[in-house]
A and B are shown apart, each in its own frame.
Chain A
Amino acid sequence: MFTQTLTQRVLRSPLVDLLTGPHGVDRYTELVDPTWTAGDARAKVIAVRRQTSRSVTLTLAPNQAFTGFRAGQHINLTVDIDGRRRTRPYSPASAEGAPYIELTIGRHDGGLVSNYLYEHARPGMIVGLDSVGGDFTLPDVRPRRILFVSGGSGITPVMSMLRTMRAEGSDREIAFIHYARSTEEACYRDELDAMPGVRVLHGFTRSTAGSDLAGRFGPEHLTAALPEPDAVFVCGPPALVEAVREYCANVSSESFVPPLFDLPAEASGGRVSFTDSGAELVDDGRPLLEQAEAAGLTPESGCRMGICHSCTRRKTRGAVKNLITGAVSSAEQEDVQICVSVPVGDVDIAL
């Protein structure tokens, strides 16, 4: 431990910063081992298993730069695919404070990162842990009677909450309803069934064999699991979240919805937010740079023809189209040249 701290202190010293400038010490140490970085949180994949035919479970060993997460939060995972860094939020299923991070990633049609990881993840692979976020967390004072509800790959954040409480030796009354299409697609089934002190109910919605519950979430499911809970944590498709909210009070929820957009003929009429300056406007079809300037902002810019990259900004949400190449950037967290990019629907730009 002493040597670790000493190494950290030496690596972060102003002298080492000067000697390794302007690139910084991480740009050298990472060439020896990609996880030897003091500033960039990264992790090494140490185990890969496929619990079901539609998911992959990764065990990650994070480096020292990773500062942890709270049960229920998501981590923005970065992976290089065909030379491009892709970022996707995934909620760990492991307990808060556990030495390893466990991710269970459900593959879905057209899902670039989920399919890539399903097919290519292997021990030794390095992934980036870009940032941690999300308000879907347990209160510090744990409620007395808790109901967890999850659907499909939404199981991971509630699994993390459940495991965290069990690691704490919690005496709370806990029930867990998990919905999957069939028994084959139910992740963590064996672990849940073997868990003492938790009432676990499975709902299989397509192949109902082995299902504890019939149909979709409703009053009967609630009665069977835990009537009148103090708090409910639900993660899954929007329809499931809505159903739970209809019958329960004090519901915390999270839902993953894939973005949908149509290419605009002209102005998309979308809402454009320049998040750093707080300006909001309605897309008029012109390049983002011109719209920002029309709104009284003065972002850095240069050639205004897509060659000099002076105007490059991070697009944090939504999609834009590059007028020169016609390429649509739809992934969150991509750098775009605002002088030649027009919005495709609602878009947030860090400007």
Chain B
Amino acid sequence: MTVTTSPPQQTITKTVAGKTVTLTPEQADTFGRELDALKERVIADLGERDTTYIRRVIKAQRALEVGGRALLFGGIFPPFWLAGTAMLGVSKILDNMEIGHNIMHGQYDWTGDPALSGKKFEWDTACPADQWRHSHNYMHHTYTNIVGMDRDVGYGILRMSEDQKWRPYFLGNPVYAFLLMVLFQYGVALHELETERIRAGEITIADKREILDGIWRKTKRQTLKDYVAFPLLAGPFAPFVFAGNMTANLMRNVWSYMIIFCGHFPEDVQEFSIEETKAESRGQWYFRQVLGSANLTGGKLFHILSGNLSFQIEHHLFPDVPAHRHAEIAPEVQEICRRYGIPYNTGSLPRQFATVVRKIVRLALPSRLTDRAPVGDAVSAAV
């Protein structure tokens, strides 16, 4: 990608919350080298601590899952149902976020353990892991926030950027966003289908035959497991197990949706054009990752449950560094950014998510109607 092409690099200028942020090619190079050095230091330090950590999280997840499913068999008693559902929900959140997402990034490939292998791991959600690895690890992480290239900008369903042309379809933006939240695992599963290109007539459904087969195979097994096999095993208590599994899936859907939407959609997070990023250097790629991501503040448990995606900036700078290390390096990343005058977007979940909801609603309307309320005002109003 960009590292191999070499037209002359340019100074990049962005306006973030009314302030101008500039980075010359020379600054970008030293900025990049500082971040490279930081990454090398962490990589050199990887060892038993990291392997032990992820294995402990896996053990906790599997225990919560087995315990939760067992309690749900006694789900006729409300305390059992509530505890079982909560345990299963948390287990699915851990499986998808701190374990699945991070292992599939190759964060633990260095361990050589096949159970921690980025290429082999499969997660407890409808989306097939190999499709995710392509659309997320490669497309989204390489072309982060480049409108027209990063399909995570609106997922082909929503209008999440001013640079996406408004169409009457987008009047339903808040409704689509709500449905996506509730059905998030299926939304993620359908991501690689590129339905927006099918709708636009660029490709046909036949071109996506293999993708569709993969989605169907995985979704079928997940559905059979949660909504047929486990309920049937409970005999007369099947409805309790069914309802518990559905609620657990919903918990995971809503939680992961909130965390993920807070990664790139809060106010002041920057988008980029294909033109802007054509001749990008490694340092400029880092610059885009910082400006295109936003962090969440919280406690240790919150960070684990978010899969450490609460350190979205660090995650985007170093997607293959074990995510539990992000908290340790965040102060240093912040300090480096401060020296280069690069804003570092962070805030609490309620605050960041409020700006996301505001953006979803605002972008439902054509830009000429919302131009009267510029971005900066919207933020101060939200705070």
Residues of A bordering B, CB below 8 Å = 15, 18-19, 21-23, 27-28, 31, 78, 80, 82-87, 302-310, 312, 324-325, 327, 333-335, 337
Complex Cα spacing A274 to B168, Å: 53
Complex Cα spacing A302 to B320, Å: 14
Complex Cα spacing A59 to B54, Å: 30
Complex Cα spacing A80 to B47, Å: 10
* B residues 229-275 in Cβ contact with A at 8 Å: 229-230, 233
User: B122 — which chain A residues lie within 8 A by C-beta?
Assistant: 22-23
User: B118 — which chain A residues lie within 8 A by C-beta?
Assistant: 309, 312
Task: Tell me the minimal C-beta distance from B289 to chain A in angstroms.
Answer: 10
**CB-defined interface of B91-115 with A at 8 Å, one 1/0 digit per residue?**
0000000000000011001111101
User: Cβ of B123 and Cβ of A22 under 8 Å apart?
Assistant: yes
Complex Cα spacing A22 to B133, Å: 16
User: Cβ of B225 and Cβ of A18 under 8 Å apart?
Assistant: yes
Complex Cα spacing A214 to B159, Å: 86
| B221 at the A interface (CB under 8 A) | yes
Partner among B58, B109, B221 whose Cβ is within 8 Å of the Cβ of A18: B221
Task: Tell me the minimal C-beta distance from B140 to chain A in angstroms.
Answer: 10
A-B contact count (CB 8 A): 111
User: Cβ of A83 and Cβ of B46 under 8 Å apart?
Assistant: yes
Task: Tell me the minimal C-beta distance from A294 to chain B in angstroms.
Answer: 14
Given A302-B138, A303-B142: A84 and B110 interface contact (C-beta under 8 Å) = yes
Which residue of chain A is the closest to B48 with respect to CB atoms? A83
Q: Which among A21, A22, A86, A327 has the highest number of chain B CB atoms within 10 Å?
A: A22
Which residue of chain A is the closest to B106 with respect to CB atoms? A309
**CB-defined interface of B107-131 with A at 8 Å, one 1/0 digit per residue?**
0011111010111001110000100
Complex Cα spacing A308 to B113, Å: 18
User: B325 — which chain A residues lie within 8 A by C-beta?
Assistant: none
Complex Cα spacing A268 to B134, Å: 32
Given A83-B48, A303-B142: A27 and B221 interface contact (C-beta under 8 Å) = no
Pick 16 A–B contacts, CB within 8 A, sort by A: A18-B221, A19-B225, A22-B123, A22-B129, A22-B222, A23-B122, A23-B124, A27-B62, A83-B47, A84-B51, A84-B110, A84-B111, A305-B142, A308-B141, A312-B106, A337-B106
User: Cβ of B119 and Cβ of A305 under 8 Å apart?
Assistant: no
User: Cβ of B142 and Cβ of A325 under 8 Å apart?
Assistant: no
Partner among A305, A324, A335 whose Cβ is within 8 Å of the Cβ of B109: A335
User: Cβ of B133 and Cβ of A310 under 8 Å apart?
Assistant: yes
Complex Cα spacing A324 to B44, Å: 12
Which residue of chain A is the closest to B137 with respect to CB atoms? A308
Task: Tell me the minimal C-beta distance from B85 to chain A in angstroms.
Answer: 18
Which residue of chain A is the closest to B118 with respect to CB atoms? A309
Which residue of chain B is the closest to A28 with respect to CB atoms? B62
Task: Tell me the minimal C-beta distance from B114 to chain A in angstroms.
Answer: 8
Which residue of chain A is the closest to B143 with respect to CB atoms? A303
Task: Tell me the minimal C-beta distance from B41 to chain A in angstroms.
Answer: 11
User: Cβ of B112 and Cβ of A335 under 8 Å apart?
Assistant: yes
User: A304 — which chain B residues lie within 8 A by C-beta?
Assistant: 1, 3-4
Partner among B115, B119, B218 whose Cβ is within 8 Å of the Cβ of A312: B119
| B63 at the A interface (CB under 8 A) | yes
Which residue of chain A is the closest to B317 with respect to CB atoms? A307
User: Cβ of A21 and Cβ of B115 under 8 Å apart?
Assistant: no
Which residue of chain B is the closest to A83 with respect to CB atoms? B51
| B198 at the A interface (CB under 8 A) | no
User: Cβ of B3 and Cβ of A15 under 8 Å apart?
Assistant: no
A-B complex: 9 closest residue pairs judged by Cβ atoms: A309-B106, A302-B138, A83-B51, A85-B112, A22-B122, A83-B48, A308-B137, A82-B47, A303-B142
Task: Tell me the minimal C-beta distance from B54 to chain A in angstroms.
Answer: 9
Task: Tell me the minimal C-beta distance from A49 to chain B in angstroms.
Answer: 27
User: B46 — which chain A residues lie within 8 A by C-beta?
Assistant: 83
Complex Cα spacing A19 to B221, Å: 9
Task: Tell me the minimal C-beta distance from A306 to chain B in angstroms.
Answer: 8
